Amino acid sequence: MDSPDMTFTLAYLVLAFCFVFTPNEFRSAGLTVQNLFSTWLGSEDIGFVQYHIRRTTLTLVIHCSLPFGYYLGMSVAAPEKNLMNVYLASDEWQLYFTVTIAVFLLSCFVALYWSKNKWENHPISKTLASHALARSSWRAVASSINTEFRRIDKFATGAPGARVIVTDTWIMKVTTYNLHVALQHDTHLTVTDSKQHDLSPDSGTPVQILTLRVATINPSVKPFDIRLNSTEYTELRDKLQAPVRNAANVVIHLTMSELFLETFKSFVELNQVYERISGQELEPCIGCMQETANIKLLRLCQGGGGGEGEGECQQCYCRPMWCLTCMGKWFASRQDQQRPETWLGSRVPCPTCRAKFCILDVCIAR
């Protein structure tokens, strides 16, 4: 077990496995195809599609060269095997050399074939061609994707080699050897599976991973699955143009803030309704500028014996300026994130005048 060839074999297997299935430690150290060959790959932000065409091609060649790399390394680690001269090596090593060099050369020929006609034959190019208009080409689709990827409002999650990206028009999944692309208005998504993990390596908290099936009416585009954390599901849903079906009746766990927001709304709906003064018009919410500002703060709670001390609720004289959702988000943002059990009973300052209020003082204006 202590022989040099066994030691080298174990070390090479571990390194090769980590290089192919890159763990966070390797990624942090920059031991990835993207980092090691960043000069040739170019910038993902400038040319997203072209970047991944080059990346997938280079990844294929490098991964196919790993078995041959083991042969070269073994020839140095165990010189007594005479691997430097193939004709002097054993029959087993000659067979291994033949197979590995054939795999490596085949990958080079595939890469050369893909690069012909300015990458016309690459699988990503053919995928994009299925989305092109009658008198257009895959390059027009690539240009559209590149433009939308540069926008800051896109949804993106996952590691560099396994990302899910959603723009205004496209749904994309980046994998080690491919790039899956679907046009949003031709697509419907279905939640097909959910896996609960007791501990996330990133946050140290329980995490739920959702699997969504992306299917399109375009027969040339194969369906594909995307996976994401349940805490990102709401952000993804907001970016999508079509509703997401839950075929498996999966219970999607909300984040603590989202769960509190739902509870906050249900409590507020039980409170007293604020009747608007005659002629008073409700303006857009100053928080989101999308919903109508329909929240009025009235001191209705019975605590404190009628005073307005430091820790008691105070009368707010502001007109309705916030919607229910924004007020709930404000209420949650002012809480101790480590003590969620105290949120409902706490007091926070009005976002406008800083008068303290509790959840019982939040009234819907009608």
Question: Using one digit for the tens of pLDDT, what is the confidence trace for 51-85?
Answer: 999 999 999 999 999 999 999 999 888 888 888 88
Section 163-181 average pLDDT? 94
Confidence of residue 122 (pLDDT cuts 50, 70, 90): very high
CA angle (235 as vertex; 234, 237 as ends), nearest 5: 65
Residue 170 has pLDDT above 60, yes or no: yes
Whether pLDDT at 352 is above 70: yes
Q: What is the pTM of this model?
A: 0.69
DSSP state of 232: G
Q: What percent of the chain has pLDDT over 70?
A: 93
At 279, list the tokens. 């002629």
Smallest CA-to-CA distance from 71 within 62, 58, 84, 80 is with 84
User: Would you place residue 112 in the very low, low, confident or very high pLDDT band (cuts 50, 70, 90)?
Assistant: very high
Is residue 171's pLDDT more than 80? yes
Q: Residue 246 region, left (φ>0) first, then alpha (ψ -120 to 50), else beta?
A: beta
pLDDT band of residue 341 (cuts 50, 70, 90) is confident
d(CA 147, CA 110): 29
pLDDT of residue 238: 87
Nearest CA-CA partner of 33 in 25, 41, 45, 24: 41
Q: What is the pLDDT of residue 207?
A: 73
Residue 96, strand partner residues:
none
Angle at 317 between CA 312 and CA 320, to 5 degrees: 115
Query: Are 51 and 34 within 8 A, CB to CB?
Result: no
- pLDDT for 301 equals 81
Q: Given its phi and psi angles, is residue 289 left (phi above 0), alpha (psi -120 to 50 degrees) or beta?
A: left
Average pLDDT over residues 4-8: 84
What is the pLDDT of the chain when averaged over all its residues?
A: 87
- SS3 category, 313: coil
Collapsing DSSP to helix, strand or coil, 269 comes out as coil
2 band by pLDDT with thresholds 50, 70 and 90: low
Angle at 7 between CA 3 and CA 10, to 5 degrees: 140
Average pLDDT over residues 95-122: 95
The pLDDT, as a whole number, for residue 202 is: 58
CA distances from 360 to 260, 265, 272 (A): 15, 11, 9
Averaged pLDDT for residues 287-301: 89
pLDDT at res. 34: 86
Flag whether pLDDT at 266 surpasses 70: yes
DSSP assignments along 1-60, one per residue:
--SHHHHHHHHHHHHHHHHHS--HHHHHTT-SHHHHTHHHH--TTT-HHHHHHHHHHHHH
Domain 152-253: assigned CATH number: 2.30.29.30
- 227's CB contacts (< 8 A; 6+ apart) are 158, 164, 209, 210, 211, 212
pLDDT greater at residue 304 or residue 3: 3
In sequence order, the 6+-apart residues with CB closer than 8 A to the CB of 285 are 291, 292, 293, 321, 322, 323, 326
**Whole-Å CA distances, 276 to 12, 207, 261, 291:** 74, 44, 25, 17
Q: What is the pLDDT of residue 31?
A: 84
Tokens 């989305």 map to which residue? 131
- Higher pLDDT pick, 252 / 225: 225
pLDDT reported for residue 284: 92
348 in helix, strand or coil? strand
pLDDT score at 256: 73
pLDDT, position 181: 95
**Average pLDDT value for residue range 225-254:** 83
pLDDT for res 300 = 86
Token pair listed for 201:
């390596």
Please give, one letter per residue, the 3-state secondary structure of 166-222. Answer: ECCCEEEEECCCCEEEEEHHHEEEEEEEEEEECCCCCCCCCEEEEEEEEEECCCCCC
Res. 309 pLDDT band, cuts 50 70 90? low
- Segment among 122-131, 147-156, 172-181, 192-201 with least mean pLDDT: 192-201
Q: Kindly tell me if the per-residue pLDDT of 364 is higher than 80.
A: yes
